[in-house]
Amino acid sequence: MDRSRNASLTSDETTAGPGVTVSIAVEARNAVKAFGQGEAAVRALDDVSVQIRQGEFFTLLGPSGCGKTTLLRLIAGFETPTSGQILLDGKDITADPPNRRPVNTVFQSYALFPHLTVAQNVGFGLQMQGRPRAEVADRAAKMLTLVRLDHLAQRKTSQLSGGQQQRVALARALAPQPKVLLLDEPLSALDLKLRKEMQIELKRLQHETGITFVFVTHDQEEALTMSDRIGVMSAGKILQVGSPRDIYTRPANRFVASFIGETNFLPGFYAHGQVALAGGHVPVAAGTKEGSTVTLAVRPEQVRLVAADAPGSLPATVRDLVYFGTDTHCHMALSDGSEVVARLQSSVSGEAGLEPGARVGLVFTEGAAQVLED
């Protein structure tokens, strides 16, 4: 789709590089949200600053309770920050109530109005804005066509399936043409097949409307496949912001590396551009403090198996093989007992005649091993 455009935007985190001007749709500045008082206060958001760009599909990703929904509710205006600011198009909207913000929300439970028809639900926002009746009807019909529900316009929402209700909720939130659309885990109530369909549908809608989407999810796969950029959150903080590729290949810390995809964590010691591990050395990018204990993070698909005595390889013993169809996961132990998992193509691992107890050598794809400081 428009990956190329976004790739150029995401080449740098905070400034879009010389010559490229990026307008910021939404911004949180030092946003803090504390629930409760005094000693018992819990900081759901702990000094969060993030800039979401005009027209991008931005995902807030994190486990439940990490503060991602709280951040979304601050942007929507359902909560006011304990301190800090929310800006929309550079304008401070922190004090504005939700009905004065050109921002709409798709709720996890959809929250469709049960007393209204599908078309009336979709037209609700425009009607509240005081638009003429003809325009409301016209726009509601257009939105329903966009989400392919025009044939159900006169139904009551209780007569719709979960997927259809989801589409109505989307059409309703998009109808007033908000500057930003907020989506609070909108796909979590759908079954797998429907979820996959809606992921594609959401990308299509975002592309066709050009509206900035802020999407909240705990599903890393959803985040990786749909987003232009991802903000990974944990314990009320944003740990890393970047493109899916950035986040996956260059996780900023152990949490990000373990939350997104599978990762081998190997304890080691950094010196002279190398990390010393049990049974060998792995060359890594420079920049780490000499002589510090570090953790080496390697994705299972970046681990290759070679002959046991191949030069530059780490000696290991195969413990177990788990067959996944296309792939086979090969669980191995280094000489100090630490576990490494390699993801191999099943056809390759079958030919190699691997079996538990076999002695092999490990090589990491060049540049794939990330050093995480402890």
Partner 1 sequence: MPSPQDRARVRNGWLLSAPALVLLAMAAAGPLLVVLVYSFLEAGQYGGVEWAFSTDAWFGILFSKDIFTDETMLADAHLAIFWRSVKLSLLTTLITFAVGFPTAWFIATRAPRARAMWLFLITIPFWTNLLIRTFAINEVIRNEGILNSLLLWAGVISAPIQIIYTDTAVLIGMAYVYLPLMVLPLFAAIDRFDMKLLEAAYDLYASRLQVLRRVILPIVKPGIVAGSILVFVPSLGAYVTPRVLGGGKNMMIGNFIELQFGQGRNWPLGAALSMLLLVIVMVALLAYVRAANKGAGHGH
Give the footprint of partner 1 on this chain (CB under 8 A): 76-78, 97-99, 103-105, 107, 109, 111-115, 124-125, 128-129, 156-158, 172-173, 176
Q: Smallest gap, in angstroms, from Cβ of residue 356 to partner 1? A: 53
**Distance between CA 69 and CA 72 in Å, rounded?**
5
Q: Smallest gap, in angstroms, from Cβ of residue 241 to partner 1? A: 26
If the CB atoms of residues 61 and 171 are measured against partner 1, the closer one turns out to be 171
Composition of the chain by helix, strand, coil, percent to 5: 30, 35, 35
Q: Which of 28, 92, 38, 33 is nearest to 58 (CA)?
A: 28
If the CB atoms of residues 25 and 75 are measured against partner 1, the closer one turns out to be 75
Q: Smallest gap, in angstroms, from Cβ of residue 125 to partner 1? A: 4
Q: Smallest gap, in angstroms, from Cβ of residue 297 to partner 1? A: 40
If the CB atoms of residues 156 and 250 are measured against partner 1, the closer one turns out to be 156
Q: Smallest gap, in angstroms, from Cβ of residue 106 to partner 1? A: 10
**Distance between CA 23 and CA 89 in Å, rounded?**
8
**Distance between CA 312 and CA 363 in Å, rounded?**
7
Residue 73's SS3 state is helix
The radius of gyration computed from the CA coordinates of the chain, to the nearest angstrom, equals 24
**In one letter, which amino acid is 230?**
I
Q: Smallest gap, in angstroms, from Cβ of residue 176 to partner 1? A: 7
C-alpha dihedral sign at 186, 10, 367, 285: negative
C-alpha dihedral sign at 13, 15, 21, 26: positive
If the CB atoms of residues 168 and 296 are measured against partner 1, the closer one turns out to be 168
If the CB atoms of residues 23 and 109 are measured against partner 1, the closer one turns out to be 109
Q: Smallest gap, in angstroms, from Cβ of residue 35 to partner 1? A: 16
Q: Smallest gap, in angstroms, from Cβ of residue 137 to partner 1? A: 16
If the CB atoms of residues 127 and 199 are measured against partner 1, the closer one turns out to be 127
If the CB atoms of residues 83 and 129 are measured against partner 1, the closer one turns out to be 129
Helix segments in the chain, DSSP class H: 3-9, 68-76, 118-128, 133-146, 162-174, 192-209, 220-226, 244-249, 254-259, 346-351
Q: Which contacts qualify for 158-162: CB closer than 8 Å, 24 or more apart?
A: 158/114, 160/118, 162/189, 162/190, 162/194
Question: What are the tokens at 295?
Answer: 């953790």
Question: What are the tokens at 122?
Answer: 């979709």
Question: What are the tokens at 222?
Answer: 């959803």
If the CB atoms of residues 55 and 125 are measured against partner 1, the closer one turns out to be 125
Residues whose CB is less than 8 angstroms from the CB of residue 151 and which lie 6 or more positions away in sequence, other chains included: none
